[in-house]
Structure 1
Amino acid sequence: MNLRSTIIIAVFCAAIFRVFPASAELFVFPAQQNTGPGDPEQNLLSESRTVVIYGSADIEAFRPVIDGFQQSNPEIRVEYHQLQTLEMYHQTLAEHEAGEPNADLVISSSMDLQMKLANDGYAISHQSDQTRALPNWARWRNEAFAVTQEPAVMAYNRQFFRENNLEPPRTRNDLIRLLNDHDDLLSEKVTTYDIERSGVGFLFLARDERFFSGIWDFVRTLGQARVKLYSNTSPMLEKIADGQLVLGYNLLGSYAETFSRRNPNLGVILPDDFIVVYSRIAIIPRGARNPETGGRFLDYILSIEGQSILQDEGNFNPVRPDVPPSPFSSLIFDRYGERVRSFPVGPGLLVYLDQAKRQRFLSRWQDALLNRR
């Protein structure tokens, strides 16, 4: 979509929806001009159709698939509400409880929260040729669908490591040794997710705990290094690239790989010990304004064309096995295949929402970082 046909509106959404979180941003893509003959009244009706999407993906990463959808559906207007995952979850519940219409499609990187919405009856069933093309692990009860596969990676500032004659860490134990051996150089220069504010950050660390026995020694080492915590990946990548920070852990590989193409000073590392891979999950809420249009958008992003755009333009690795893999996707799933630790879509994800277990996990996190507070 070009500047002529696209209007981007970035506003505080509380001014639009009275219960919307203040940090949400709204991006509007008007329906494209119809060029074919037809009934003017019908054309006017068609152009007024809107699909409302709540999503956690950055708009610049998600814009290409919106453009592709509108090329195939020029009569449909797209509203993309970019929210944090926890905000999206609570917004969906609040709208349902208030009897207000939900979005037509909700796509979140917090797999556990999406599964809870589906498991608790807040999603409707949707079946199509595109959903049937998914592998079994990527769909649950035709209500929750994985639309991407994305690794957690490490990122580093190439210039800093080169100037200080340091080797980037290849494993988690390498990272611990690096932080212990060079605490003077790396203090306040390391970053990761704040798992108390980031749903995907919590998932990543919980998965680490399952496969890395030294995880809490690792977190204590981060605390000693006075780690900087953020709730999303983009500011971490920007600060690593410009040298304010020099090393990041458990960052979203899709964003990191895209960012590194524009910023050669940013290096991306797929850990050699194991790679945590998660998926964004899409649901059509039970109170959707237009569930048919939501289903149409879902089918597009699950199609070979949509999956290819997500991969080629946003480095979101495809879920469908019949989409030709990019070099980045091949590296993850072919070269490192045995070391990949994925999250199947299903009720097993709800274990991460058990409140007692979650609080114990967060308390342990806080205790391990205590020495920096």
Structure 2
Amino acid sequence: MISGRICIGLCFIALAMQVSSAMAEVFTYPALRSSQASDPEQSLLTSTQPMAVIYGSADIGAFVPVIEAFQQDNPFIGVEYHQLQTLEMYDITQSQRANGEPAADLIISSSMDLQMKLANDGYATSYQSSETDALPHWARWRNEAFAVTQEPAVIAYNREFFRENELEPPRTREDFIRLLVNHDELLSEKVTTYDIERSGVGFLFLARDERFFPGIWDFVRILGQAKVKLYSNTSPMLEKIASGQVVLGYNLLGSYAETFTQRNPNLGVILPDDFIVVYSRIAIIPRGARNPDLGGRFLDFMLSIKGQSVLQNEGNFNPVRADVPPSTFSSLIFDRYGERVRSFPVGPGLLVYLDQAKRQRFLRRWQDALLNRR
């Protein structure tokens, strides 16, 4: 549940690039304790409590536990969390640098490619600590970009619908295709996935699928024939699957889906048996941050054993550190399916997904496949 201390506002941010304006939800968590200067007169002149400004793409409901845990350890620091779409976050960061405006103290994005481009293009400050050193080698790049989670793409389905229609939910991509072909009328307009033209993580998931699943474009064509419903965010897809408005979802974020099942038992979640795509949220401390020390402190907390445990136990964000005791969900992914996990290492290799010519070819192929209806 979101804390009662929360204050919600709307922040309209002018952008100089592709998006003319963006609307961010801003969630403010005041410091738990107030520090007083020893001189009463000086106290009147002292500015407000330190406020860590964080830009993030994670839903506040999933991310608030780590904010509150951070403040338990840092009671004199407030937190201002700007929940943004990943492209907005990227554009804002570039715009702030171009205009000489102060940036956020920490940026945590689910678009690994965009975040890596910021780091590669010199928008990230180098930062090193005992907590960043504890990360596996694949999870950090030049002490500038850091993986803070590991999250799988899953299949989600409506348990009641499948039970009533005596159907088995698909456990592989080939199963998914056969189900749509064999029950085309029953499942027409009942399937959902990401709109990869608007969702950065959706684009990454499908690009990874293309590398490991030769039949991916036949799959997309069949999704188009099924009149697939496209969304840019995970939460509305999960809500519609649980309610029965749609009944089957592909490549949804497992962290959100697993959390959603705890209050919606009608939602089923499947880790694909053929292979599992796992991506990470990447954090950077931007150059020009208002308070880079606060950004580093929050990053260290997220990467600490305590912070990683909170992310895992409260938000189902699987930990990056190997010395964090795994949850049942995490163990299932990395122990049972270990050899079938397809992860994204943090590094310049992610930039291939931003090559404009390749990206446009990929998107055209997506559009053509979706529109190739019978």
- TM-score, length-scaled by structure 2: 0.95
8 A Cα contact 1:47 1:75, kept in partner: no
- Say which SS state the counterpart of residue 78 (structure 2) adopts: strand
Cα distance in 2, alignment partners of residues 175 and 22 from structure 1? 36
Contact 1:152 1:250 in 2 (8 A): yes
Q: CA offsets per residue over residues 173-194 of structure 1, 9 Å max, x none? A: 0000000000111000000000
Structure 2 counterpart of 1:184, one-letter code: E
Query: Where has structure 1 moved over 6 Å in runs of 4 or more?
Result: 35-40
C-alpha distance after superposition, 1:92-122 (max 9, x if no partner): 1011111111100000000000000000000
Aligned to 1:32: 32
| SS of alignment partner, residue 166 of structure 1 | coil
Q: Quote the Cα distance in structure 1 between the aligned partners of 2:3 and 2:116.
A: 37
Unmatched runs of 5 consecutive residues or more in structure 2: none
In structure 2, the residue matched to 1:9 is: 8
Total equivalences in the alignment: 369
What does the per-residue CA deviation read over 1:229-278, in whole Å, with 9 as the maximum and x for residues that have no partner?
00010000000000000000000000000001110000000000000000
8 Å CA contact 2:154–2:271 kept in 1: the answer is yes
Q: Aligned residue for 1:91? A: 92
Cα contact 1:34–1:43 (8 A) shared by 2: no
Asked if the contact 2:150–2:319 (Cα under 8 Å) also holds between the matched residues in 1, the reply is yes
Structure 1 residue 10 displacement after superposition: 3.6
Q: Deviations over 1:314-343 (max 9, x none)?
A: 000000000000000000000000000000
What stretches of structure 1 of length at least 5 have no aligned partner?
none
Give me the whole-angstrom Cα distance separating, in 2, the residues matched to 1:36 and 1:94. Answer: 36
**Amino acid in structure 2 at the alignment position of 1:324:** P
2:189 corresponds to which residue? 188
Provide the rounded CA distance (Å) in 2 between the counterparts of 1:74 and 1:84.
29
* Segment drifting more, 38-47 vs 113-122: 38-47
Q: Distance in 2 between matches of 1:288 and 1:251?
A: 32
Q: CA deviation at 1:287?
A: 1.2
Partner of 2:345: 344
Deviation larger for 45-54 or 94-103? 45-54
Residues 11-41 of structure 1, C-alpha deviations (whole Å, 9 max, x = no match): 2x11xx4449433211110111248996665
How big is the shift at 1:3? 5.2
Q: Which residue of the partner structure matches residue 150 of structure 2?
A: 149
- In the other structure, the counterpart of 1:322 is 323
Between the aligned partners of 1:267 and 1:236, the Cα distance in structure 2 is 13
Whole-Å Cα distance in 2 between the matches of residues 366 and 86 of structure 1? 20
For 1:119, the aligned partner's letter is N
CA contact (8 A) 2:111 2:200 kept: yes
Aligned residue type for 1:288: A
Distance 1:333 1:129 in 2: 25
TM-superposed CA distance for 1:7, in Å, is 2.6
Paired AA for residue 365 in structure 1: W
Deviations 1:138-181 (A, max 9, x none): 00000000000000000000000000000000000000000000
Amino acid aligned to 1:359: Q
- After TM superposition, list the pairs within 5 Å mapping 1:186-335 onto structure 2: 186-335=187-336
Question: How far apart, in 1, do the equivalents of 2:43 and 2:345 lie?
Answer: 43
Evaluate the alpha carbon distance shift between residue 186 and residue 2 of structure 1 in structure 2; reply closer, same or farther with a 3 A threshold: closer
Cα distance change of structure 1 residues 336 and 38 upon mapping to structure 2, 3 Å threshold: farther
Q: For the structure 1 residues 368 and 265, does the alpha-carbon distance in structure 2 shift closer, same or farther, using more than 3 Å as the test?
A: same
Aligned positions of 1:40-189 closer than 5 A = 45=46, 48-189=49-190
Preserved contact between residue 46 and residue 76 of structure 1 (Cα < 8 Å): no
Please tell me whether the aligned partners of residues 101 and 288 of structure 1 are also in contact (alpha carbons under 8 angstroms).
yes
Task: Give distance in 1, aligned partners of 2:39 and 2:220.
Answer: 64
Higher mean C-alpha displacement, 166-175 vs 69-78: 69-78
Q: CA RMSD, aligned part only?
A: 1.9
Taking the aligned partners of 2:350 and 2:359, their CA distance within structure 1 comes to 13
Shift in alpha-carbon separation, 1:3–1:325, aligned structure 2, 3 A: closer
How far, CA to CA, are the matches of 2:327 and 2:81 in structure 1?
Answer: 27
Over 3 Å counting, the alpha-carbon distance change for 1:93 and 1:30 in structure 2 is: same
Q: Which amino acid aligns with 1:32?
A: L
Q: Is the 8 A contact 2:108 2:284 kept in 1?
A: yes
Amino acid at match of 2:28: V
d(CA) in 2 for partners of 1:232, 1:255: 11
The answer to whether the Cα contact below 8 Å between 1:193 and 1:229 also exists between their aligned partners in 2 is yes
